[in-house]
């Protein structure tokens, strides 16, 4: 029966629906009468009078059963797409009607029919109800089996992808029903059987398919039956178990896909159709989980505020805006210089939160007038600063742009935040800011220092910089590159076989950034718990195997050499910085600002560079000169006194730009 907490909408009454109900009711009434007569005939040799009483009672019984099924919603169900839950509802309706009929039969002075006729008759009638409602599926199944066995004519579905389903629960059963038919825009499948870890199910039949064994049997079953595709239809599985099954599948040549869970399907409804199956994503392999709200963190500082997000149309910025919606900001200001992406994001967010005031602003953080207008018109109370250039190889060739956009743009946003008494300012930083060996990392470290310089003089604004590693799903991630290279048949290019990186899903990163914004007490650098370090080659090999291909054989892996400014291994904090735990288990706070840091001198030096070399009359002669200036800013502020001699020596070097960023180890 329908959940009493959920009020089902009333369907409009029309002739078609009435005719459909009457047709089903008449069919059910005939089934009940026939069932009662059959039971009476088998039980005794009835007289004409007994036949008459039984038929009359059967008509009454049919009426009671029809009313019961109407009340339980049996006639409102689409039985060509039914499940085990629908069958349960039908059984409940027949059971309730049986109790009513037994009561009526007992209440009458002379029982019209024996009690066993009612019980057995209703049971047979239930079988008839099921047969009628499942007739199209039963006939279709019998038809193609007849053609296959007698005439050796196989439907197209039997000549397509040989598929094994992992999970013999409700999701697996529903998937089997869907895969028997052509999926719009997809493949056609020949279902071989199920895999399930429940030993009690082994050898059983579900939807006409055998349950062949547990996870350990996957390689053997794939080899024996020539499986081409393995589909996961399990949603209540923990991460380690999921990855263990993935490892079993990786030892085969079958491709692997997943059934999106309910939340994924809901989130996909705004796209062009929801795919029945999806590829295994790196998030699945690495085991990053989506972090939810943490009850230990007071999130009131961002609830109901006017929030400005710079770089809102970027990978991280857009995800931050999506998650900010749940905190019901008074106004959400989206600032970006990408007109097309900004329009798309505004359209998406407006559809998700039509009651929320969302304002897109097309502008450039390096143009102070653009930002000043935002502060004057919208008066932001919380700022998430995500606007930046982020591609390491690209910025190696444009160090002047890194200074202009990343450092100069951050200077503009921070200065206006302090001037307008913004409550909180959050800088999106990176693990590449630690001991930077490339232009992007150095520019981000300078952004942290800009924030620190203004935090030392601000009285009302609280500051936080948040460092994290590579974001899965972002435009700067290696994953899209690997996917494209695999689609093209290889080779997959890796800079070095020992290269490692930290990875985090974009959803988790945005969630933790929002939490970190509420943890700062004035001037803090937070580091997100990135989990275990991942070897890039291992990630590439697994992505290849998940396509049913073999690394180095079907898809070549090519080593291209470490690019300028690239590190073999990233770190999340400097040796001089000391991380400490916060109330959030996935967020650490870094302590280690230099007590001798001269904020005024730093900002003075930065102003000279920005005004005279970036926006002034003396532009850099070449990239090496721009890099030398970037290096000078870094060394003066970050190096200890014994390193200043090295600074003067490097000022005159004419080498590759990234070489100027190498730092000595601190003692």
Mean pLDDT within 41-64:
78
Tell me what percent of the residues of the chain surpass a pLDDT of 70. Answer: 77
pLDDT of residue 352: 93
Extended beta strands in 337-454, E state: 358-362, 382-385, 424-428
User: Are 424 and 520 within 8 A, CB to CB?
Assistant: yes
Phi-psi region of 10 (alpha: psi -120 to 50; beta: other; left: phi over 0): beta
pLDDT of residue 628: 73
Residues 581-609 pLDDT 10s: 888 888 888 876 666 778 888 888 888 88
Tell me what percent of the residues of the chain surpass a pLDDT of 90. Answer: 24
For the cut 80, the answer to whether the pLDDT of residue 47 exceeds it is no
Across all residues in the chain, what is the average pLDDT? 79
Mean pLDDT within 374-385:
96
Tell me the fold of 161-280: Rossmann fold (3.40.50)
Strand partners, 307: 332, 382
In which residue ranges of the chain is CATH 3.40.50.720 found? 161-280, 306-601
Range with the poorest average pLDDT among 115-129, 313-327, 619-633: 619-633
User: Are 28 and 97 within 8 A, CB to CB?
Assistant: no
Q: What share of the chain is helix, strand, coil (3-state, %, to 5)?
A: 50, 15, 35
Distance CA 533, CA 502 (A): 5
pLDDT of residue 379: 96
For the cut 60, the answer to whether the pLDDT of residue 397 exceeds it is yes
Extended beta strands in 339-404, E state: 358-362, 382-385
pLDDT of residue 622: 60
Residues 277-304 pLDDT 10s: 777 776 666 655 556 677 778 888 999 9
Range with the poorest average pLDDT among 213-217, 263-267, 531-535, 560-564: 263-267
pLDDT of residue 310: 97
Residues 62-116 pLDDT 10s: 888 888 888 887 777 666 555 566 778 888 888 888 898 888 888 877 777 788 8
Active-site residue list: 432
Residues 486-519 pLDDT 10s: 888 889 999 899 988 877 788 888 999 999 999 9
Mean pLDDT within 562-571:
78
Q: Which of 65-79, 239-253, 370-384 has the highest mean pLDDT?
A: 370-384
For the cut 80, the answer to whether the pLDDT of residue 566 exceeds it is no
Going from the C-alpha of 235 to that of each of 171, 180, 194, 628, the distances in angstroms are: 8, 21, 15, 54
Distance CA 475, CA 481 (A): 9
pLDDT of residue 652: 31
Range with the poorest average pLDDT among 71-80, 143-152, 229-238, 565-574: 143-152
Would you give the DSSP letter of residue 457? T
Q: Which of 155-159, 568-572, 641-645 has the highest mean pLDDT?
A: 568-572
Strand partners, 452: none
User: Are 336 and 342 within 8 A, CB to CB?
Assistant: yes
pLDDT of residue 17: 67
pLDDT of residue 33: 86
Distance CA 320, CA 509 (A): 9
For the cut 90, the answer to whether the pLDDT of residue 371 exceeds it is yes
Going from the C-alpha of 652 to that of each of 627, 628, 648, 656, the distances in angstroms are: 11, 8, 7, 12
More confident residue, 566 or 394: 394
CATH 3.40.50.720 fits 306-601, yes or no: yes
What are the backbone dihedrals phi and psi of residue 131, each rounded to the nearest 5 degrees, phi first? -60, -40
Q: Whose CA is closest to 54, among 100, 126, 121?
A: 121
489 upstream amide cis, omega within 30 of 0:
no
């Amino acid at each position: 029966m329908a959940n009493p907490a959920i009020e089902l909408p009333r369907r409009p009454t029309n002739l078609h629906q009435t005719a459909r109900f009457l047709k089903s009711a008449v069919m059910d009434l005939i089934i009940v009468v026939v069932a009662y007569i059959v039971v009476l005939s088998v039980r005794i040799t009835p007289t004409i009078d007994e036949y008459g009483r039984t038929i009359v009672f059967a008509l009454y019984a049919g009426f009671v059963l029809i009313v019961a099924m109407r009340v339980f919603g049996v006639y409102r169900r689409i039985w060509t797409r039914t499940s085990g839950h629908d069958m349960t509802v039908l059984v409940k309706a027949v059971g309730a009607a049986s109790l009513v009929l037994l009561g009526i039969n007992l209440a009458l002075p002379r029982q019209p029919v024996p009690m066993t006729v009612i019980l057995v008759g209703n049971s047979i009638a239930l079988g008839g109800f099921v047969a009628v409602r499942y007739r199209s599926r039963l006939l279709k199944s019998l038809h193609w089996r007849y053609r296959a066995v007698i005439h050796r004519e196989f439907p197209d579905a039997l000549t397509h992808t040989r598929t094994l389903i992992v999970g013999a629960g409700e999701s697996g059963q529903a998937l089997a029903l869907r895969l028997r038919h052509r999926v719009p825009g997809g493949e056609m499948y020949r279902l071989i059987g199920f895999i399930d870890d429940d030993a009690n199910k082994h050898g059983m039949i579900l939807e006409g398919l055998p349950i062949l064994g547990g996870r350990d049997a996957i390689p053997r079953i794939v080899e024996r039956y020539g499986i081409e595709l393995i589909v996961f239809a399990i949603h209540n599985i923990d991460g380690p178990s999921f990855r263990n099954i993935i490892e079993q599948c990786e030892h085969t040549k079958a491709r692997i896909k997943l059934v999106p869970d309910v939340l994924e399907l809901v989130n996909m409804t705004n796209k062009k159709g929801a795919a029945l199956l999806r590829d295994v994503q790196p998030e699945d392999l690495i085991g990053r989980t989506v972090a939810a709200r943490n009850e230990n963190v007071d999130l009131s500082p961002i609830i109901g505020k006017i929030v400005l997000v710079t770089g809102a149309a970027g990978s991280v910025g857009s995800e931050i805006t999506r998650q900010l919606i749940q905190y019901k900001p008074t106004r959400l200001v989206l600032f970006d210089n990408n007109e097309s992406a900004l329009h798309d994001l505004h359209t998406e967010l407006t559809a998700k939160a039509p009651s929320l005031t969302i304002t897109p602003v097309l502008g450039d953080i390096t143009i102070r007038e653009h930002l000043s207008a935002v502060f004057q018109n919208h008066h932001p109370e919380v700022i998430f600063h995500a606007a930046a250039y982020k591609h390491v190889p690209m910025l190696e060739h444009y160090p002047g742009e890194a200074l202009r956009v990343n450092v100069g743009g951050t200077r503009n946003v921070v200065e206006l935040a302090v001037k307008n008494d913004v409550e909180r300012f959050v800088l999106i930083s990176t693990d590449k800011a630690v001991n930077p060996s490339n232009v992007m990392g150095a520019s981000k470290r300078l952004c942290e220092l800009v924030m620190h310089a203004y935090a030392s003089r601000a009285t009302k604004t609280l500051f936080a910089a948040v460092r994290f590693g590579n974001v899965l799903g972002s435009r700067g991630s290696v994953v899209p590159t690997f996917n494209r290279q695999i689609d093209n048949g290889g080779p997959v290019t890796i800079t070095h076989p020992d290269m490692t990186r930290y990875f985090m899903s974009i959803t988790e990163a945005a969630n933790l950034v929002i939490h970190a914004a509420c943890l700062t007490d004035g001037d803090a650098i937070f580091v997100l718990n990135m989990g275990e370090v991942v070897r890039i080659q291992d990630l590439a090999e697994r992505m290849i195997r998940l396509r049913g291909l073999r690394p180095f054989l079907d898809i070549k892996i090519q080593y291209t050499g470490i690019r300028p400014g690239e590190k073999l291994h990233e770190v999340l904090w400097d040796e001089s910085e000391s991380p400490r735990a916060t109330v959030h288990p996935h967020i650490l706070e870094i302590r280690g600002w230099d007590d001798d840091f001269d904020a005024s001198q730093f900002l003075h030096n930065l102003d000279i560079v920005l005004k005279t070399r970036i926006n002034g009359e003396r532009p850099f002669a070449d990239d090496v000169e721009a890099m030398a200036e970037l290096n000078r800013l870094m060394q003066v502020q970050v190096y200890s006194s014994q390193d200043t001699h090295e600074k003067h020596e490097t000022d005159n070097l004419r080498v590759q730009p990234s070489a100027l960023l190498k730092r000595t180890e601190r003692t």
